[in-house]
Structure formats: C-alpha cells, structure tokens
Structure 1
C-alpha cells in the first residue's frame, strides 16, 4: 500500500508545483521540457531499458503521437490548474479513464457489464457538475475549456499507452524510455523556437523547477508500476486506490491550502466522481 500512497503523493505534488509556478513566475514550457529530460534519465537508471531492441518494427506512429501529445497536454494541464484549480483539474484527469473504457467498447469490441454502464452513466454528470461555474462567473471566461482538454487529452494518451502495452515485441519500459526521449526532443524544439522568437527567456530557475517536476512526475509512474507489481493479483485495488486517493487528496489540498472555491454542485460532482470510480472498479471483477 505504501507504493500507492507514494504515487498519490507524487501525482498531487505535480499539481501543486504547477499551481505554484504562476506565483513564482516560472516558465511552464521550459519546466515541462526539462521535466522530460529528468524523466528519461530516471527511466534509464531505474528500468534499464534495452535501447538496442528498438527497431523500425516498433510502433513509431504511436510513439510520435505520444511524443507530441504528452508535452502539449502537460501545458494544458498547467493552464487548467492555473485557471480552474487543483480540485477540478485532478478530477478531470482521473475521470479521463472513461475515454479508454469507451474505446474498449466501440473500438476493441469489449463487452460491458451493467456495473460499468452504471459507472459511466454516473461519471458524465460528475464531470459536468465538477466544472460547473455560477452563471455570472461562466460569462467572464471560457476557462472550462482547459479541464475539458485535460479530460480528452489524458483519455487519448491512456488509449495510446494501452496500445503500447499490447505490443509485446518490446518491453513496456523500453517503449516508455523511447517516448520520453521523443517528448523531450519535441518540447526542446518548442523552447528553442520560443527563445529565438524572444517569447521566453532561458533562466536557470526554470531548469531547476523542471528537474523537480520531472522527479515527482516520474515518481508517480514508478510507484504506480511498483504498486501493480506488489499487488499483481489485485489490479483493481491499485486502480481504485490511486484514482480515489488523487481525487480526495487533491481536493483537500486545493480547498484547504489554496482556498479554491467550490459551489454546492461542484461538491456533488466530486461525490459522484468518487462513486463512479468505485462502481467502475467493482465492474472489473464482476462476472460478465
């Protein structure tokens, strides 16, 4: 259980760091780029990927898609936390699991049991209610688009990573290392282009913050994988504890520490989100 707790802590810490970035005027695009550099180094040290086994037969279209999506969605994640807060963004990220579930039904022809259908039915109102603002606030901006981007983006990323997991010719960790390398290259190109256009200024503080961000981002992945290995016969336990833990812990941090304001409908959305995750977790072990 310690691995699940550490993974939850790392996940919420990433959100906290992105929340603090605005206060301390940290360049998110620079931090995200360095984050992937840190992640690929840590991936190399901990997973010892067999780089020589990567060949032209590898699923390069998926690798490239993820290399573009990962830094892009990371920037949207930062914008969502900045504009909508940790609570709503964490819930958007966690409920993005609905997209791979729907993909498994419509694309991969997986049969659904009644519990999974109920979970989805409860989950979609949860998304709507969590993002909902008062009418007077909603007219001021379109910041709701950011958590929607997080929801859709992480959902698509999850589907692509599941495709990577099905590619048995390469170890998953080797594919992960390759994706981190490509994501770093893509994000570095963006940083260099913005620097040349004088849109940003390269500063050491952004590099340091990026390393810290990368440490916790990788920690989330590492401990989540270790949790699955430690509880190999109970994957649904890891799934439930991770998603519920991030929603609850993230909500507490957002409301108590950062004083994020939620209305009654938002709280109802959070409760529905927790119920949806529990029901979907139960559906994993239900007899079809």
Structure 2
C-alpha cells in the first residue's frame, strides 16, 4: 500500500467522522428542542377528544380543538412558563335557541372536564411549561360572525354577533340562578347550605400548591353548581390569594352524597402556608 492510498483512506475516514459528528450534533439539538423547548400539545389533544365524547357537550358542540393565543404575552415565573390557550369549537344552530342556563350547563361541563384533568385551567405541556386554557369559544355553524365565549375565570358568557345594521356587537349574558364570580352573587336560596368539608389536604410542589378535599351534603335537598373557594394565608394569617373551582355542574349532589374536588394554584411571591376551604355558591336543585 503506497502513501497515496493511505492518504485517501485517512481522508475518507475523516469525512465519515465529520459526517457522524454533524449528525449527532443535529440529533442532540433536535432532542434538546423536543424535550425542553417544544410546547407539547399531546395532553390538550387528548383533552379535546374527551370533551368531544361527553354527551352533554356533543349534543350541541363539535370540532373541539385548542389553539394558542399568539398575541398574548408568555407569563414566566421562576423559570416556569405559562402560555394562553383558547378552546375553539363549532356549535349547532340549535345551540343559539337554548336558554342562557342551558348554554351555561354546556360550558360548565367543558370547564369541569378540563379542571378534572389538572385541578385548574393549567395543563402541563412540556418541560416547565403550562398551557392556560382561559377561554372557551363556540362559533355558530352558520358563520364565524356569530359566537359565544365562556371565560373560565369569571364564568361569564359573552355573545358576539353582527346586527342587521352590520355593526359588530358583544354582550354579556346573565340569568337568575347562575353563579357569577365577577359580581359576588351568592345563591338562589337565602338559607345557608348544609354542605360540609369532610376531607382536606394541601401539598406544595415547587411553585404550586395542590388542595384536595371532599364535600358532603348533610341536608335533605340536592345542590347543583356548588362552587368551592380556597383562601390562602401566610403564617401571620394575612390573606395572600384566592382560587375557586366547581364541585359539580348540573349533576346534583344528592342528600348524604359526598364528592371530591382538587385545585392547583400557582403561588406568587412566597409560600402559601395556610388555607381555608369554603362553599361560596350553589343552586338548590
């Protein structure tokens, strides 16, 4: 074997090594992006399928999907990022003919499914990433100019449409007996509910506090749309934050029945060392 042949072999091996180095470099970059930087929407897709299969929902709603609100700022707190998402769907024309309360029941069923998965509107979607589903949007099938949106934070329904004069209007819908977080309305019955907190626990994991518990109906009547409020305090008893969730929607909590709930809240500024659970809203069935 002469020198020229040896040089050719070395050159070919060097080229192979360079190609392998480039390949592993690109592969490493792809894996880093896939596991650490990418927004993983697989859980949202599973959630969309679960919502679509719900009998209360699919009577009026189809085409359920999640999309990111690109115009909204990404919220970052101690390395954890939160991305704003909206649940988009198509509503049958008959949905518009339903009462406000019937619309509310459908939207509350969607909210219930979302919150049952994670305890809040925050869905884990990657390494130190959460997708915050803050709004449900349903477009009437006859046109995207007519839609209903449900705010997951205030429980308000907004109807947006174009009137006969071609003006785009938005109006908030309200109905007697529907709980509304924004106005502090309590209940449709003036008597205090006999709903007892029979089990509770709170655990801190990183920047989040997880509160779970159970409510028992110790009365002889049934309750729907039972809203649970959790207040958070520091060691001195100063209130730091509040959060809430619904124990049920239109499915009644029967006498002597108990039902579990869970709530995940992001702590801001400091640890939430104490908490208090209250029933703040309900309807008598």
TM-score, normalised relative to structure 2: 0.26
Q: Relative CO higher for 1 or 2, CA cutoff 8 Å, sep ≥ 6?
A: 1
The higher radius of gyration belongs to 2
Name whichever structure is richer in helix by fraction. Answer: 1
TM-score, normalised relative to structure 1: 0.26
